[in-house]
Structure 1
Amino acid sequence: MDRGEKFAMLLQHLEKCSESIVYYDEIASIVQQIRQMESIMAPIHFHPNQVFDETKHVIDVIAKKYLEKATDNVHHLVPIKVAADGNCLYNSILLVMNNLMVTADELRVRTIIELMINEAYYENIFSQFIGSVTFVIKAICKNNTFSELYEISALCNVLRCNIRSIYPKIDFREDMAILNNVFTPRPSIIANCDITILWSHVWNELDARATNNNVWSPNHFVPLMQSFVYDESDHSNMSTSIAVTPEKKTFKNNTSTRIRSPEFELSPSRHLRTENNMGTNFAQSIISNALQQHKSGIENQRQVRLDILKERALTSRMNETTEHRQIRLEKQKERDDLKQMTETEEERQIRLEKKKENARSHRRNETEEQHQIRLEKQKIRDQSSRSNNIDEQRQIRLEKQRKRSQANRAKKKLEKLASGNIDVQQQDIEMQFTKTEEYASCDGKSISGFTQNSNVKKKNSSCS
């Protein structure tokens, strides 16, 4: 199984977890297991190719129309066509990435992991605009679903890069300053590069409005690349403008003459850049304030959220049907199997020791009623386990049971034979002892008769 297939399988597991009643707990469990897979979870080295190559890339004509409605300082960029399959944000990253080993599934899985382990950070920044990150994580677990701000921000940390988000100036939105913004990694991560993406639509504006009650809403992302190499010192991905000395006209001898002017005015592009920076600064101030709130109240919020989720999980389990319970147990079994497949021998020994200690502690403190309930549950689990065994496992279990039965029968037979041999030996000894006594009795009688005969002979001899 190659790297892409492994991440495809992991994404399938996450999607199954997202369908559960207690989806958050199950997703969190899978995420912890994935993080321990060092062979596939090494950081991605992202070195994007941002120069348009007509032999490799195709211009997205529809996206180009939307780009014309964005801020002027990006009109020189080229929108590149990517697959519109719901993974368009990840496809945009892959197009500029020089790594054929990475797939959209991997980027989606890594995004989920980033959002889970730094949930409070993202919650404080974006929840006021697009809702709680908890529900977004559930949606992301389903493959081919459209991405939003959470995913863009998370990918900054996954790829260790700055992502400039360009949103067309179509229909006013309160969060327009956030959508047209440069997203950066968390303070603890240093960005190594910059990329630019455009919020777009697979249809032109008229058709998109016609299918959405005359409201335009994006459903696609495309990467923006440079048509030729620009000066990289400008972090706004703008071309280096050539300074032209302002000139004015004067008339001398009825001839129009140009003279240099000592006054310099800001070029239109600089005006636009200033306006764009104002919007960016506004968005950055919001993020900065959110970061301060995040640092001050992260632990309390985390505890409250965990308590709420725990209470929600307990309530769900109390109200779950037998079918839901069976599904939950099966998924738990799958997670346990996956974890055991990836654990080392040392981790296995630690897990078994903890399991034994927990079992001993629980049994020492349980009442008689709890003891009976535990035995009954164990019986049910054994029956459920047997019913869920595949034919091969069932045959193995029956074969082991048959061997144990044969061994027990052989043992009993040997014990019976040994007992019979002892009885036979005792009977032989008794028979030999009886024969010895009979022989001794016969010898006594013979001696007595011989003595009597001798006496008679002596008497007759004396008489004669």
Structure 2
Amino acid sequence: MRLQFRPTQVFDETKHVVDMIAKKYLEKATGDLYHLVPIEVTADGNCLYHSIVLLMNNPAVTTSELRVRTIIELVTNENYYENMYSKYVGPVNIAIKAICKNYTFSELYEIAALCNILQCNIRSVCPKIDFQQYMAIWDNVFTPVSPIIANCNIVIMWSHALNEKDAREANNGTWSPNHFVPLISSGIRNDSNNGNQSTSLAVTPEKRAFKNNTVTQIRMPEFPSSPSRRLRSEVNIGNNTAQSISSDSIPKEKNDKEERRQIQLEKKRDRSRSSRMNETEEQRQIRLQKLKE
């Protein structure tokens, strides 16, 4: 049974909290988003699904349900997603295995799949920070696969749980997103004439719109390289401060050790991802081939 998705489109101070860190990142994104504000969601690896749940405003729908529906969609239409996106983010079968683990950070496959699940156009927004060619695909409008017709529009931004300075310090001076937040209207601008407060999804001439089985291209450069899928969970801001280990609390000691282990794993994965960002096209093809084997 399909979900009924009628997303919240306007900021409500009684329900929403502005993500001040993401607001700074939004300033470095495409300039036509000034009327939108980023809303705070939990940074636990399920942030893309938290964003949808917040917009859905339906307590009966959980992040776990959305993750399972995403897996089913990707498995059902595996060939389509492989043909469309594998050259950017690696084999879809590898991605599906990662998605099966709860709290695993989401990427392009999940965004594309959610378009079908929600019958919705999703504008994916990425701040122009340390921009590389492969990142252009992150800044696009994704649409459902025919015959599904979108009945609404939402905007999701790639962000980070830390401010840019701290994020760079944790990742050897480089920045890459590890968080998603929803963008909704501040209520200042209304793009429709009939009172329907639907967020504008205007596509600039530098973007691609992914629709059905083809890519509509408008003066878009080639994408020579792309990092492989990040199999990681987001770093929660509160977990970045080292906690003292209480000698009389065994459960707390175990939790602290686990937090430190997760932080070390996150740093290791970020270093690995940073090295892949500088690989040549030949090195990238070799790596992707090994993943398929």
Q: Normalised by the size of structure 2, how large is the TM-score? A: 0.68
Q: Describe the shift of the 1:113–1:284 C-alpha distance in structure 2 as closer, same or farther (beyond 3 A).
A: closer
1:376-409 superposed Cα distances (whole Å, 9 cap, x missing partner): xxxxxxxxxxxxxxxxxxxxxxxxxxxxxxxxxx
1:139-160 superposed Cα distances (whole Å, 9 cap, x missing partner): 0000011000000000000111
Partner residue in 2 for 1:175: 134
Q: Does 1:146 align with 2:105?
A: yes
Alignment partner for residue 192 of structure 2, among 221, 227, 232? 232
Alignment partner for residue 288 of structure 1, among 208, 214, 218? 214
Contact 1:166 1:197 in 2 (8 A): yes
Offset of 1:176 from its aligned partner? 2.8
1:284-306 superposed Cα distances (whole Å, 9 cap, x missing partner): 4996259xxxxxxxxxxxxxxxx
Contact 2:159 2:180 in 1 (8 A): yes
Partner residue in 1 for 2:123: 164
Q: Describe the shift of the 1:141–1:65 C-alpha distance in structure 2 as closer, same or farther (beyond 3 A).
A: same
Q: Does 1:279 align with 2:206?
A: yes
Alignment partner for residue 68 of structure 1, among 22, 27, 31? 27
Q: Describe the shift of the 1:109–1:238 C-alpha distance in structure 2 as closer, same or farther (beyond 3 A).
A: closer
Alignment partner for residue 86 of structure 1, among 33, 36, 45? 45
User: What is the CA–CA distance in structure 1 between the aligned matches of 2:212 and 2:132, rounded to whole Å?
Assistant: 16
Q: Say what the alpha-carbon RMSD is for the aligned residues.
A: 2.3
Structure 1 residues 280-429: aligned runs within 5 Å: 280=207, 282-284=208-210, 288-289=214-215
Partner residue in 1 for 2:171: 212
**Paired AA for residue 48 in structure 1:** P
1:432-459 superposed Cα distances (whole Å, 9 cap, x missing partner): xxxxxxxxxxxxxxxxxxxxxxxxxxxx
Partner residue in 2 for 1:222: 181
Partner residue in 1 for 2:228: none
Q: Describe the shift of the 1:227–1:285 C-alpha distance in structure 2 as closer, same or farther (beyond 3 A).
A: closer
Offset of 1:211 from its aligned partner? 1.1
1:265-295 superposed Cα distances (whole Å, 9 cap, x missing partner): xxxxxxxx7xx52122x454996259xxxxx
User: What is the CA–CA distance in structure 1 between the aligned matches of 2:213 and 2:139, rounded to whole Å?
Assistant: 13
User: What is the CA–CA distance in structure 2 between the aligned matches of 1:220 and 1:149, rounded to whole Å?
Assistant: 13
Q: Which has the higher helix share?
A: 1
Offset of 1:120 from its aligned partner? 0.5
1:233-262 superposed Cα distances (whole Å, 9 cap, x missing partner): 6999359xxxxxxxxxxxxxxxxxxxxxxx
SS at match of 2:177: coil
Partner residue in 2 for 1:323: none
Partner residue in 2 for 1:100: 59
Unmatched 5+ residue regions in structure 2? Answer: 217-293
SS at match of 2:9: coil
**Paired AA for residue 191 in structure 2:** D
Q: Describe the shift of the 1:174–1:145 C-alpha distance in structure 2 as closer, same or farther (beyond 3 A).
A: same
Q: Describe the shift of the 1:130–1:105 C-alpha distance in structure 2 as closer, same or farther (beyond 3 A).
A: same
Alignment partner for residue 195 of structure 1, among 128, 134, 154? 154
1:160-204 superposed Cα distances (whole Å, 9 cap, x missing partner): 100100100001222233111111000210011000011000001
Which protein shows a greater Rg?
1
SS at match of 1:135: helix
Partner residue in 1 for 2:240: none
Offset of 1:86 from its aligned partner? 0.7
User: What is the CA–CA distance in structure 2 between the aligned matches of 1:287 and 1:147, rounded to whole Å?
Assistant: 22
Q: Describe the shift of the 1:151–1:90 C-alpha distance in structure 2 as closer, same or farther (beyond 3 A).
A: same
Offset of 1:125 from its aligned partner? 0.8
Q: Describe the shift of the 1:289–1:78 C-alpha distance in structure 2 as closer, same or farther (beyond 3 A).
A: closer
User: What is the CA–CA distance in structure 2 between the aligned matches of 1:90 and 1:70, rounded to whole Å?
Assistant: 22
User: What is the CA–CA distance in structure 2 between the aligned matches of 1:148 and 1:205, rounded to whole Å?
Assistant: 20
User: What is the CA–CA distance in structure 2 between the aligned matches of 1:101 and 1:236, rounded to whole Å?
Assistant: 24
Aligned sequence identity (%): 61
Unmatched 5+ residue regions in structure 1? Answer: 1-41, 240-272, 291-464
**Paired AA for residue 288 in structure 1:** T
User: What is the CA–CA distance in structure 2 between the aligned matches of 1:287 and 1:190, rounded to whole Å?
Assistant: 14
Partner residue in 1 for 2:78: 119
User: What is the CA–CA distance in structure 1 between the aligned matches of 2:197 and 2:125, rounded to whole Å?
Assistant: 14
Contact 2:115 2:144 in 1 (8 A): yes
Q: Describe the shift of the 1:155–1:60 C-alpha distance in structure 2 as closer, same or farther (beyond 3 A).
A: same
**Greater RCO, CA 8 A, separation 6+:** 2
User: What is the CA–CA distance in structure 2 between the aligned matches of 1:237 and 1:157, rounded to whole Å?
Assistant: 19
Q: Normalised by the size of structure 1, how large is the TM-score? A: 0.44
Number of residues paired by the alignment? 213
